[in-house]
């Protein structure tokens, strides 16, 4: 057939037929997708439809001459192939028809073929032997709009902060020594204090706006500058200042809070001890009240009972020291006391010994150190006394009579730090992804011909699968953490135990996600990602520690799981426990009733993309793990095994529950937010990212769901396929999505990102 004799209806399908026949193998899925498009195309006449269907017969493939005619039709048009189009092959086909015919309306059925088959530019441009261009087309979505959706009510605060970060003091550079690095970071922190950001979360009377959610929002942006800056900023204003604000009373606020926010008083947060790690309740440092001199004596009893890894230790003049408070010979539990550690000349106070932790894997701009106290005396008024106090007569009293409840209430006030650490880790993941994606949109490698350009890394399905689910996950976690900080900061919520459980789990899964993502980005950039100048290496070193500070992730997941079981009494054979088990069992049976062959084998797209399915699956996993965990613990206790030992025997089960609960929480929080997005176009984009996140998470836990009979092998394969498909569908928008993070351009100085 001569090229000029192809009708308009047939001609528009030719590029697609040429692609799908290029490997001499027409698959069943390809036939089904194209047939569906042809059948639904009302613009086709009977003759055109018959011709197209005849080209879909695997037993009688098109003749070689027909293939040559197709290629000649394509190449003679001299149309450029634009990689950055939303649907490149569909747009190309429209231009082809316009070249040969006067009328060339856009056919949406072609778009369906391109999307459903996951066709990428590297699948066809070599076949056509065309000139390939990378024109920057008008995006279907605006990055600025996406960024504004993420910032929400904090838009003005975050935008103003990003302007401040344009100051030359925040320009990235390689610091050769830790001393030089530390001094530079200290000056950056002081600069931010001068701009009012140090006191941001404090009350107005002390220079702040009492905007903790806004503080958390700007905190993530510090990671775009440098991890050391984020952490030193957090230690000074969040941990040290936060302990004074949350654990102290007005006398402490009046004396210290304003100066802390201005960095006139530099302080550190001395909780963790070398020999006791995450076991805060088991710390050995003592704070003994001396009635005769109305003072408290701080003492380190053993060589390994020192405070360890204390940020700001070398710059500080004061420490918020956590110690066992002993009054009249009775241990009243862990309390915080303000202890001067240096004088105005920056000399160590008598009885205080501090050593530098030295070089670390990352965060070498933070002055971490070890602190020992030898009979250091401070005034009684230095006790941060919101939850426990010593009166003028030397008697201890607290409004919270139960020591355990008092301890956890005190720690619960500092949960904001865990949320901020998760935000910092998320910021590191976002920046690494932004660098890796930008690199993948420029870097070319391999093809099947030496005559034309190599393929873009981002066009490889494997590369899309490496990066795109992580890009989507960042959106889910961003929305979730914003919501968590808003709830945590709500003064009307007095009991913070639930948010403590949630923050513990989210901090764990998000910081692990951040580390995994940064490593994937490093590898995705090859040798370039290994260079310090491209900043992923620094992100890798800096974010690594996030999994173990502000609570070791494994310990926090155990805490989260125990929080889920908190309504169970300590004696697990009690009537109360039995009642809860029956309730859980009933709920579980309700879930199980829906698990039938039709459900476990359902691979329909609408079902797999349904948030109802995702929520059901996540909820089922959490409920099932909760119920079976409770049953195991009860059985151990029935055998006479102490509760503590029973928990030790089910630690891996506890970890699984903590992860499942946190994943469900993140997805549910995200979908609730997406329902509030008014612009339907952007709501659909966020829904697609939520779907990718959900299916990717279900895929990671596929073995568990298969073991439970919740999904079949066929459904597991379908989920995997849909993850790949969604990653491909988001390819045209990938640049917009990473720009939607809102990372300031002046913070993207890595050469491979420009």
Can you tell me the distance from the alpha carbon of 47 to that of 30, in angstroms, rounded to the nearest whole number? 22
- Write phi, then psi, for 355 (nearest 5 degrees): -120, 145
Closest by CA to 320, choosing from 413, 195, 394, 230, is: 413
Contact partners, residue 601, CB within 8 Å, separation at least 6: 712, 714, 715
What DSSP letter does each residue of 20-39 carry, written as one string?
HTTTS---HHHHHHHHHHHH
Closest by CA to 368, choosing from 235, 221, 528, 524, is: 235
Residue 142, helix vs strand vs coil: coil
Which regions of 132-271 does DSSP assign to beta strands (E)?
132-133, 267-270
Within a 13 Å sphere around the CA of 233, how many CA atoms are in the beta-carbon half? 33
Identify the residue whose tokens are 């797999």.
Answer: 608
697 a catalytic residue: no
Cross-strand partners of 268: 319
Which of 550, 664, 697, 724 is an active site residue?
Answer: 550
Residue 171, helix vs strand vs coil: coil
Distance of CA 635 to the CA centre of its chain: 37
Cross-strand partners of 132: 81
Residue 493 CB burial class (10 angstroms; 0-12, 13-18, ≥19): exposed
Label the pairing between strands 286-290 and 295-299.
antiparallel
Can you tell me the distance from the alpha carbon of 176 to that of 170, in angstroms, rounded to the nearest whole number? 17
CB 256 within 8 A of CB 244: yes
The helix-helix angle for 212-223 and 461-488 (nearest 10°) equals 150
What DSSP letter does each residue of 329-362 carry, written as one string?
TEEEEEEEEEEE-B-TTSPBPTTEEEEE----SS
Can you tell me the distance from the alpha carbon of 608 to that of 741, in angstroms, rounded to the nearest whole number? 27
CB 210 within 8 A of CB 204: yes
The two structure tokens encoding residue 745: 């351009």
- List active site positions: 550
């Amino acid at each position: 057939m001569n090229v000029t004799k192809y009708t308009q209806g047939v001609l528009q399908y030719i590029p697609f037929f040429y692609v799908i026949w290029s490997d001499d193998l027409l698959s069943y899925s390809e036939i089904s997708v194209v047939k569906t498009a042809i059948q639904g195309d009302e613009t086709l006449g009977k003759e055109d439809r018959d011709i197209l269907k005849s080209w879909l017969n695997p037993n009688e493939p098109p003749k070689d001459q027909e293939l040559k005619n197709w290629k000649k039709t394509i190449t003679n048009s001299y149309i450029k192939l634009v990689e950055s189009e939303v649907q490149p092959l569909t747009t190309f086909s429209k231009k082809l028809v316009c070249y040969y015919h006067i009328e060339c309306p856009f056919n949406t059925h072609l778009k369906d073929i391109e999307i459903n088959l996951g066709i990428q530019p590297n699948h066809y441009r070599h076949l056509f032997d065309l000139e390939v261009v990378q024109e920057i087309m008008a995006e279907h979505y605006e990055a600025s709009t996406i960024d504004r959706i993420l910032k929400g009510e904090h838009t003005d605060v975050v935008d103003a902060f990003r302007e401040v970060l344009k100051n030359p003091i925040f320009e990235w550079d390689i610091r050769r020594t830790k001393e030089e690095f530390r001094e530079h970071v200290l000056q950056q922190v002081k600069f931010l204090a001068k701009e009012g950001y140090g006191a941001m979360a404090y009350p107005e009377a002390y220079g702040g706006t009492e905007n903790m959610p806004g503080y958390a929002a700007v905190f993530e942006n510090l990671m775009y500058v440098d991890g050391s800056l984020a952490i030193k900023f957090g230690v000074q204003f969040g941990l040290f200042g936060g302990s004074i604000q949350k654990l102290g009373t007005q006398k402490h606020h009046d004396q210290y809070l304003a100066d802390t926010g201005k960095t006139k008083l530099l302080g550190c947060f001395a909780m963790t001890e070398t020999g006791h790690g995450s076991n805060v309740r088991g710390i050995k440092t003592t704070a003994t009240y001396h009635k005769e001199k109305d003072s408290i004596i701080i003492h380190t009893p053993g060589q390994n009972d020192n405070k360890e890894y204390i940020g700001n230790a070398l710059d500080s003049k004061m420490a918020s020291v956590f110690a066992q408070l002993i009054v009249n010979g009775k241990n009243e539990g862990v309390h915080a006391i303000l202890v001067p550690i240096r004088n105005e000349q920056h000399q160590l106070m008598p009885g205080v010994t501090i050593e530098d932790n030295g070089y670390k894997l990352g965060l070498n701009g933070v002055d971490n150190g070890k602190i020992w106290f030898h009979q250091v005396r401070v005034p009684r008024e230095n006790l941060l006394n919101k939850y426990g106090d010593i009166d003028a007569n030397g008697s201890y009293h607290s409004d919270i009579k139960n020591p355990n409840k008092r301890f956890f209430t005190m720690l619960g006030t500092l949960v904001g730090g865990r949320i901020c650490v998760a935000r910092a880790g998320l910021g590191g993941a976002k920046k690494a992804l932004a660098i890796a994606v930008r690199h993948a949109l420029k870097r070319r490698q391999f093809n099947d011909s030496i005559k034309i350009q190599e393929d873009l890394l981002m066009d490889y399905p494997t590369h899309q699968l490496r990066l795109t689910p992580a890009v989507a996950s960042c959106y889910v976690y961003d929305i979730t953490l914003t919501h968590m900080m808003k709830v945590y900061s709500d003064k009307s919520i007095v009991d913070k135990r639930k948010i403590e459980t949630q923050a513990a789990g989210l901090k764990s899964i998000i910081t692990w996600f951040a580390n995994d993502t940064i490593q994937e980005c490093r590898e995705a950039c090859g040798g370039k990602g290994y260079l310090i100048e491209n900043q992923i290496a620094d992100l890798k070193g800096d974010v690594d520690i996030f999994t173990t500070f502000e609570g070791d992730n494994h310990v926090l997941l155990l805490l989260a799981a125990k929080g889920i079981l908190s309504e169970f009494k300590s004696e697990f054979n009690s009537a109360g426990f039995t009642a809860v088990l029956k309730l859980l069992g009933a709920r579980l049976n309700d879930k199980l009733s829906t698990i039938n062959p039709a459900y476990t084998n359902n691979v329909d797209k609408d079902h797999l993309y349904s948030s109802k399915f995702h929520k059901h699956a996540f909820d089922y996993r959490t409920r099932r793990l909760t119920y079976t965990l409770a049953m195991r613990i009860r059985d151990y206790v029935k055998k006479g095994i102490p509760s503590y030992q029973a928990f030790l025997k089910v630690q891996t089960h506890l970890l699984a529950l903590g992860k499942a609960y946190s994943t469900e929480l993140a997805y549910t929080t995200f979908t609730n937010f997406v329902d509030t997005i008014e612009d339907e176009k952007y709501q659909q984009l966020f829904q697609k990212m939520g779907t990718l996140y959900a299916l990717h998470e279900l895929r990671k836990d596929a073995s568990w769901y298969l073991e439970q009979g919740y999904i079949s092998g066929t459904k597991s394969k379908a989920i995997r396929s849909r993850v790949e498909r969604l990653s491909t569908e988001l390819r045209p928008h990938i640049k917009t999505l990473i720009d939607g993070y809102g990372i300031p351009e002046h913070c993207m100085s890595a050469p491979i990102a420009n």
